[in-house]
Structure 1
Amino acid sequence: MAGLEVLFASAAPVITCAQDALVCFLHWEVVTHGYYGLGAGDQPGPNDKKSELLPAEWNNNKDLYVLRYESKDGSRKLLVKAVTVENSVIINVLEHGSQQVSDLTLNLNDYIDSEHLLDFHRVYKKSEELRSRLVSGIITPIHEHWVKASESPHQEFPPATAREVDPLRIHPHHPHTSRQPPWHVDTGTVRGSTWQSKVSSVPAFWPEDQKRSPRELEGINEIDHRNGRVQKATP
């Protein structure tokens, strides 16, 4: 954790409570991920300057800490707020460009030893766990959202493609032009070389039989496929 001890030593004269120590750790984590501190408060001030140290008056309000940061390449700006609620600190981070917000709640007793606030080697408990929670809870979500927003240009479909994928598009109706045959064959089964048909009162089985009356077709239930003629069923 290079740099944290130096930062703590510079801030130690004004650290008076557990949340001071936690915000100091938070500031160091933000700085190690490529940011400079600009100043305290919501709005820019005349004394703002890029620095890895905590700005003046950073802990004047023990219930609400407000710090502003800018990435070293100048592409991103963060507004960090830490609110004290009983024995917890709620951290809220806003990235100005994307308006992405991330939040994290930490229990002070889990990570800060209030009995040794001025001893760097004893004030922080479970430092690796604290760092992991800060990274996964606020640093990584902000970074990933910013990268996604900057690397995903808006895609437009060409007119033809847009019409093809339009779910509301009504396809043109093509009416059937072929005439249906004036006859039909009832379902049946094939036996040998003949079709065993269920006889019903239909106009005819084949075109040449259309002139036959229903009475003449009674008892016809066999079609000879070899010569295309309708024959009487064999008893």
Structure 2
Amino acid sequence: MAGLELLFSSVSPDLSCPQDALVCYLHWKLISHGYRCLGTGDQPGANERKSEMLPPGWNADKELYTMRYRAKDDSRDLLLKGIMVDGSIILNVMEPKSQKVADLTLKVTDYVNPGHLADFDKQDPMGPFAVGGEDLDPFGGRSGGMIFDPLRSGYRNPGIDPSSGLPTRLPPGSVPPGARFDPFGPPGANRSGPNPDHLPPPNYDDMFM
């Protein structure tokens, strides 16, 4: 996460609560995506310029954070607001021109260690936007996710008969070894079972039973 430690070090003396550290991270995230900060508040101020740094007074209000951003190529503006409610921060990002809005609510202590605000090495081990990453990128090498491979589950592979559901067995070589193949019917469909007439109802002589 290039640049985050430098940013954190530059504002660490001003971090006085967990949400300060989280807003610092969110600022860095916008900077890394090509935005620059213009300043605080809803309205432009005098002599504003685009900067990678957090603006003066960015954390003066611990209950409401408001900052404005502009893309490096001036193609888009963003208004970021963070509102604290019962230990969570409600993030609201709006594009003023289109009035498009995105919202996200994060429990601050899920991402920030309140006991080590000034220690970069003990903060934000997982970014707030990594939630659900195992499902969004199931092959990224992380654990979890909703894609389940039964061949790598750790359990003994019981073996699958590809001929299940067919009246005869498939010829040898029809399914290459290790190929992913869905059988034609449920497992064990060709196994011999009990005669359907072995327990007919009493005094019932229907030959088709």
**TM-score where L is the length of structure 1:** 0.54
- Aligned partners of 1:82 and 1:8: how far apart in 2? 19
Q: For 1:53 and 1:66, locate their aligned partners in 2 and report how far apart those are by CA, in whole Å.
A: 15
Asked if structure 2 preserves the Cα contact closer than 8 Å seen for 1:29 and 1:131, the reply is no
Q: Any residues of structure 2 matched to 1:65-214 within 5 Å, and which? A: 65-127=65-127, 130-132=128-130
Task: Tell me, yes or no, if the aligned pair for 1:113 and 1:125 is still in contact at 8 Å.
Answer: no
| CA separation of 1:17 and 1:47: change in aligned 2, threshold 3 A | farther
- Partner Cα distance (2:3, 2:125) in 1: 17
Q: Which residue of 2 aligns with 1:143?
A: none
| Structure 2: distance between partners of 1:125 and 1:109 | 12
Partner deviation per Cα, 1:65-110 (whole Å, 9 max, x = no partner): 0000000110100000000112100000000121100000000111
Shift of 1:132: 2.9
Could you say which residue in structure 2 is the equivalent of 1:40?
A: 40
CA RMSD between the two structures: 1.4
Partners of 1:112 and 1:39 in 2: CA distance: 24
SS at match of 2:7: helix
Bigger radius of gyration among the two: 1
Distance 2:7 2:30 in 1: 12
Shift, 1:47, TM fit? 4.1
Cα distance between partner residues in 2 of 1:51 and 1:76: 15
Amino acid across the alignment from 2:80: V
Q: Is 1:88–1:106's contact at 8 Å kept on the other side of the alignment? A: yes
- 1:30 paired residue number: 30
Unpaired segments ≥5 residues, structure 1: 136-235
* Aligned partner letter, 1:16: S
Taking the aligned partners of 2:62 and 2:79, their CA distance within structure 1 comes to 17
Q: Distance in 2 between matches of 1:94 and 1:71?
A: 14
TM-score scaled to structure 2, two decimals?
A: 0.61
SS at the partner of 1:121? helix
CA contact (8 A) 1:89 1:108 kept: yes
Name the structure where helix makes up a greater proportion of residues: 1
Other-structure match for 1:17: 17
Q: Which amino acid aligns with 2:28?
A: W
Which AA in structure 2 matches 1:90? Answer: I
Counterpart of 1:57?
57
Contact 1:94 1:101 in 2 (8 A): yes
Rounded to whole Å, the distance in 2 between the matches of 1:16 and 1:68 is 22
- C-alpha distance in 1 between matches for 2:47 and 2:82: 22
Distance 1:48 1:121 in 2: 33
Q: In 2 relative to 1, CA 20–47 (structure 1 residues): closer, same or farther, beyond 3 Å?
A: farther
Rounded to whole Å, the distance in 1 between the matches of 2:86 and 2:57 is 22
- In the alignment, residue 86 of structure 1 is paired with which amino acid? D
One-letter code aligned to 1:57: G
